[in-house]
Chains A and B, each alone.
Chain A
Amino acid sequence: MNLQTVNANVSRVPFFRFLNFEVQSLDSLHVAAEMTFESRHIGNPVMEHYHGGIIASFMEATAAIAVHPDFAEVPAKPINLTVDYLRPAVKGSLYARANVTRKGKRIASVSVISWQTAPEKPIAEGLYHFLLV
């Protein structure tokens, strides 16, 4: 699966265009992506912080791509998620890295971390489950 094909798939999903991110690298178990800041991502208009739901959405998107990078039309089916918010995300790019912890026949478990300045200073961490059937 090459980057160009994956990003072409991403650009066909309306909500992924709304998020405005690009996959930077991927292999069979990992995906790294960068999301560009947009005013529609703001949750706290005074501080201009990202909305927590946008952070969770971006992490869900990268997790889904890690599980199923060659999705033809619709990304992998999410079951549920938990997110820990560790720091506010300010104006600027947000990065996410998804790591498929386990991929069985029916269920996949994916952990995702997002950051701005350095991965050692995470903005949020998430765990996502997907249904593969």
Chain B
Amino acid sequence: MSDITQKKMEQIAQMWNARGKGLITHMGLEIEEVSIEGVRVRMPFNPDFCVDRDQTLLHGGILTALLDSVFGLANFVAIEGVSTMATLDLRVDYLRPAHSRADVIVRAHCFRQTRHIAFDSGSIWFDGHENEEIARGSASFALTRGDTSLFEAMTRGKAS
């Protein structure tokens, strides 16, 4: 596992915390592992994300949202000098009903980057059931590179 710089780790923590509003905050995401090879993130169980009255079955959409978010983090970690990042397209396969009140674990990585595009894939399972994936997804992202880094843009946004 290759290491990433302490500076980048600090930036990630700051950027994540800068998202004082929005879906990522609402999902309560916790970063468990970060490296160039990929990231691992935990989403605590949240009854708001369920479809059934008993609140034990997660809606597929929240898994899609989770993949999209964690792909963004994987890109930030893997790619130097990104200024903006936009999801071009996203494909998600729902492999099993997401029936549990356990935390959700997602693992994602950027498997190819070019000057303009990044390609990511990832999978999701319930904590303790890594061999029973509930969803798998892949996405491509349009990147721009410029003077203002994504980190600067995000943290400046917090100050304003």
B22 within 8 A of A: yes
Bin the interface of chain B by size. 35 or more
In the complex the two chains form, what is the Cα distance from A77 to B95 in whole Å?
11
Asked if B91 and A45 sit within 8 Å, CB to CB, the answer is: no
Q: Which residues on the B side are within 8 Å of A15 (C-beta)?
A: 48-51, 58-59, 61-62
Contact status A39-B62, CB under 8 Å: no
Number of interface residues of A (CB under 8 A): 38
Q: Assess whether B53 is interfacial by the CB under 8 Å rule.
A: yes
At the interface, yes or no: A56 with Cβ under 8 Å from chain B?
yes
- Write out, one digit per residue, whether chain A residues 76-93 have a CB within 8 A of any chain B CB (1) or not (0): 011111111100100000
Tell me the nearest residue of chain B to A87, going by C-beta: B86
Residues of B that sit less than 8 Å from A by CB: 18-24, 26, 47-53, 55, 57-62, 64-69, 86-94, 97, 153-154, 156-158
A residues near B (Cβ < 8 Å) are 12-19, 39-46, 51-54, 56-58, 60-61, 73-75, 77-85, 88
